[in-house]
Amino acid sequence: MSGHPVGDATSSVSRGCFVFTPSKKTKKCLDPKDYFEVEGNFSESSVYHASTCEVLWNDISEDVEALQTDVNETIFEDLVQFVSQAQTRFDPGSEEPNKSVSTAVQEIPTAALITGVNTPDHHAMFAAIIGQLKEKVTPHVAEIHSKDCNTLKGLMASVIGQLMGAEDLMSDDEEVEINVKKIPCTMPVLCSWYKETVEKREKQRSSPSKTPKRKSSRKRRSSILYNSNYAKHPCLVLIFEDMESVPSAVLQDFILVSSQYLEKLPLVLVFGIATAVTAIHRTLPQSVSSLLSIEKFQAVPSSVYLTQLINKVLLSYKHPFKLGHKVFQFLLDLFLYHDFSVRNFSKGIQFSLMDHFFNQPLSLLCCGYGEGLNRLRSMSHDQLELFRKAASFRTYVEGQPPEEQRDLLLDDKHLKKVLQELLKKLSDYHKTFYPVMLCLHELTFDLPHHPLGKQVRELYSFCLESNINENKVYEEAFGLLGILARDELVSLLGRCAEKLSEGEAGLDDIQAIRFHLETIETKLDTLGELCNQPEEEDENTESENPESLNTSTDGNVKTKTTLHSLQQQLMQSAKKKKKLTRYEVLRKEALDYLHSVFRKYLVCPQTLTLHEIFYYNNVGEVRRHINASPRAAIQTALDNPYHYLQSDLCKAEGGSILSTFPDVCIVYKLHLECGRLINLYDWMQAFVTVVQGGEDEADGEKKAASKKKADPVLQARFIRAVSELQFLGFIKSTKRKTDHVARLTWGGC
C-alpha cells in the first residue's frame, strides 16, 4: 500500500491515495443451473426448473430485441441516411493554392436526436446507431460522454483517441503500433491522420492484391477500414450521448474550432437530447448555433415502446409465464413514476421469472401445454404432494363431493387425470382471455374520462386484480356504451371483430364471438332510415288525448282539476314504458351479448385452480431486490455486522460494541452517542479504548504509555474508518471547530 497527498479539491478527513494489488486467483464462474441445486444434489426436478427458466427467458429476450429493432428501425434509417448525405460534396483534393477562397460560412451538419428521459435505455440505443453507422456509412465514429468533456483538452483527447484508435495505425517501415496517448490532441493532427487514412484506403481499393500481409493483432479492425460500402471520403461522426450535460463553454469552443476545419474534415455531429431541440439554443449562443445545420429526429416515446412490449410478451399465449397483479402494477409504477426505462422493466420480468422457478415448485409445469402433460405423467408421489398443498387446489378440493375429495388426496392416478383437465382449462383460458380483453379495450379506450383506461396495460391491471364485470368502472363504461350512436357502434363492432380475427384463429369460441358480432353489425347496417322507428305498434294503447286529463272514468267531463289529481295522472303516464326503436333494441342486444362474453372469459386469473403454476405475485421479493433501500441496508450493516458477515466474532447483543467488530462499525456505533459536533480526539480515544479492551495487556505501564501516545496503527485505522463514514454521508468537516466534525444523521437503524 502506498500513498501520496492530493490537491485541495478534496475535503476528506484523511487525504491519500491507496493502491491495492489485485489477487491473481481466478474467480470460478458459476453456471445459472448451479443455483437450482437442492442440498448439493442436482435432481431431475432441478434440471427441469433450470432448463425451462433458461428457455423461457431466451424466448422473451429474443422478442424484446426484435421489438427494439422494429421500434427504432424508422428513426435509425432516417438518421443513417442523413449522415450518409451530410458531407457528399466534401472534396479536399479540389483545394489548390490559386483557388479563390469562399467567404460563405460553412455549417456543421448536426442531427438532434430526441431520445426522451429514459436514461438507462440510451446506451443501448446509441450502441445500435453506432453499429449501423459503422456498417453502412463510415468507420470513423466517436461516442462522447459528458464525463470526458470537463475541458476542451479532455474532449479533444476523447475524440482523437476514439477515431485514431479505431483501427491499427501501423507505420509503413516498421511493424510497430502508434501509441495514441502520445499524439498531440489538436485538429491539425486529426486532419493529417484523416488524409493518410484516405490515401491508404485508396491504395487498398486500387491494388488489393499488393497489400502487404501483416501479423495478426487483437486490436486490428482492417475489415472496418476497407469496407466497400464506404464513400471515398467517409465522414467523421461525433455522437454526444448526453449533450445537455456537456459544459456550455467547452461545447462552444469545440464547435468554433471544428467549424474552421470543415474544408479538411467532413464532420457530422449527433446530439442526444432528453427534452427538446430548444436545449441546443439554451446551451449555445446564437453566434455558435448559427454554425450548425440542425435536423430533428424523434425517437419513439418510451411509453409507446412499453405498450408494445407488454402486448408482445405479457399479452401473448406464446409465453406461459405471467405476472400477477401486484408485481405487474409495481413494475409499471416504477416505469411511470421513476425511470421510464423499458430495459429496467424487462429486467424486472427476468428477475420475476428466475424467482418463480427458484421458489415455486409448481413452476415445473410452467411450459407449453404438450410438454407439461409429458412432465405430469412422469411425476412422483412427492411431486404430486406439492400440488395437493397449493392453496388454489385445496379450495378446489373443498368444493368437490366427499368421494371425489378422497380420490384427489389419496389416489395419484386420479389426481394426474384431474390435473390434466385443469391444465387444459388453463390453456384454453389463456387462448381466449387476451383476444377478448383486446376486444373490450377497443370498445372502451376512447370513451369520455376513460373509465377502463386509455392504454391496454391499465385494462390488463384491472383484469388481473378482480373479475372485470364486478368493477364499478366497468359498469360506468357500459353505461356510456349504452348511449352510442349507430355509426359509432357499427365502427366499434367492426374493430372488435378485427381484433378477434387477429387472435387464435383456430378457436371455436373466438370464431363464434366474431361471427355473432358481424351478424349484429350487418343488422345495424341494414336498418337505414328505419332505425328510429318503434319496434312494434301497440294497437291496444290509447292515444293520449289532452282532454283525457279533464275526463273522469265514467266519461263525464270534470268541472275542476285539482293539483293532487293532476299529479297522480302525470305519475301514471310517466310509469308507462317508452317504446324502443329498432336501433335501440339491436344496441341492447349487442351490449347484452358482449357483457355475457366478458363475464365468461375475463375471469380473474387468481380465482383459477393452480394459477400458481404460471402467475408470479411475490411483490415483496421483487421490491426488495429491484427497488432496494440503500440507506437502510448500510445502517443495518454498520449497526449489526453479523447480519451480513455471519461471523461469530460479530455476534453481539443490541447496543453493545465488541472489539472484533469492523473498524467502521465501531466508529459508527460510537458516533451515535455524540451530539451534532463530534470531537475527533475524544472519538479516537473511545475507539482505541474499545479496540484495546479485547486485547490482553501485561501491566499498567503499557496502559499509561498508550494514554500518553496512541499507537500509530490504531490512529491509521481510526482515520480510515472515519473517512469511510464520511464517504457514506454520515459526517462532514466543519469550519466552526477545526478539531470537530459535524454529524449529518440522527438515530440508529
Domains of the chain in start order, with CATH, are 66-89+106-204+221-300 (3.40.50.300), 305-533+588-619 (no CATH), 630-743 (no CATH)
Farthest CA pair distance, the chain: 132
CA distance 274 to 122: 9
Summarize pLDDT for 432-457 with one digit per residue, the tens.
Answer: 999 999 999 999 999 999 999 999 99
The answer to whether the CB of 514 falls within 8 A of the CB of 501 is yes
pLDDT of residue 149: 87
Q: What is the pTM (predicted TM-score) of this model?
A: 0.76
CA distance 171 to 63: 46
Helical (H) or strand (E) element with 160:
helix 152-164
Specify the amino acid at residue 119.
T
* φ/ψ (deg, to 5) at 616: -110, 125
What does the alpha-carbon distance between residue 399 and residue 389 come to, in Å, rounded to a whole number?
Answer: 15
CA triple 33-37-41, angle to 5 deg = 125
Is residue 521 within 8 Å of 496, Cβ to Cβ? no
| 732 bridge partner residues | 742
Which residues, at least 6 apart from 730, have a Cβ–Cβ distance to it below 8 Å?
Answer: 668, 671, 743, 744, 745
Torsion of CA 726, 729, 734, 737, to 10 degrees: -60
CA-closest candidate to residue 160, choices 87, 280, 85, 265: 265
Is the alpha carbon torsion for 215, 218, 222, 223 positive or negative? positive
Q: What is the mean pLDDT of each run of 10 residues along the chain (749 residues)?
A: 43 55 56 58 70 92 88 86 84 52 65 84 86 88 89 89 63 43 79 86 66 44 55 87 90 92 90 89 91 90 90 90 95 90 92 92 90 90 91 93 92 93 93 92 92 93 92 92 89 90 71 91 78 54 46 52 78 68 87 93 93 94 86 88 86 82 92 88 91 60 54 90 91 84 72
Predicted confidence (pLDDT) per residue in 252-306, tens digit:
999 999 999 888 889 999 999 988 888 899 989 999 999 999 999 988 888 888 9
Distances (CA, A) of 118 to 63, 68, 126, 300, 303: 20, 14, 13, 11, 10
Residue 337, CA distances (Å) to 303, 334, 451, 544 in order = 12, 6, 21, 62
Set of cell numbers at residue 580: 324502443
Burial 409-433 (b: 16+ CB within 10 A, else e): eeeeeebbebbeebbeebbebbbbb
Cell numbers for 638, please give them.
454498520
Rg (CA), the chain: 38
Say if CB 132 and CB 290 are below 8 A apart.
no
CA–CA gap between residue 412 and residue 89 (Å, rounded): 80
φ/ψ of residue 16, rounded to 5 = -170, 165
Name every residue whose Cβ is closer than 8 Å to that of residue 168 and which is 6 or more positions away in sequence: 177, 214, 217, 219, 220, 221, 222
| Distance between CA atoms of residues 469 and 471, nearest Å | 6
- 3-class state of residue 110 by DSSP: strand
Distance CA 634, CA 220 (A): 45
Output helix, strand, coil percentages for the chain, rounded to the nearest 5.
Answer: 60, 5, 35
Q: For 592-651, what is the HEC assignment?
A: HHHHHHHHHHCCCHHHCCCHHHCEECCHHHHHHHHCCCHHHHHHHHHHCCHHHHCCHHHC
Which three-class secondary structure state does DSSP give residue 677?
strand
Q: Do 602 and 433 form a contact (C-beta atoms < 8 A)? A: yes
pLDDT for the residue 182: 64
Do residues 570 and 546 make contact, with C-beta atoms less than 8 angstroms apart?
A: no
Q: Give the DSSP letter string of 165-215.
A: TSS--B-SSS--B--GGGS--SHHHHHHHHHHHHHHHHHHHH-GGGSPP--
Question: Is 265:92 a contact under the CB 8 Å cutoff?
Answer: no
∠ CA 644-645-651 to the nearest 5 degrees? 100
285 near 252, Cβ under 8 Å? Answer: yes
Q: Which residue has the cell 407488454?
A: 310
Beta-strand relationship, 267-273 and 236-240: parallel
Asked if 331 and 579 count as a contact pair (C-beta separation under 8 A), the reply is no
Q: What is the pLDDT of residue 404?
A: 92
Spatial separation of the C-alpha atoms in residues 733 and 468, rounded to whole Å: 59
Q: How many residues does the chain have?
A: 749
Find where cell 349504452 sits.
482
Task: Show the CA angle centred on residue 277, arms to residues 263 and 71, nearest 5°.
Answer: 100
Residues near 215 by Cβ (< 8 Å), separated by ≥ 6? 175
- DSSP H helices in 363-455: 369-377, 381-388, 391-398, 402-410, 412-444
Task: Report how far residue 510's alpha carbon sits from residue 500's, in angstroms, rounded to the nearest whole number.
Answer: 6
Place of cell 463553454: 249
Whether the CB-CB separation of 327 and 609 falls below 8 Å is answered with no
CB 534 within 8 A of CB 580: yes
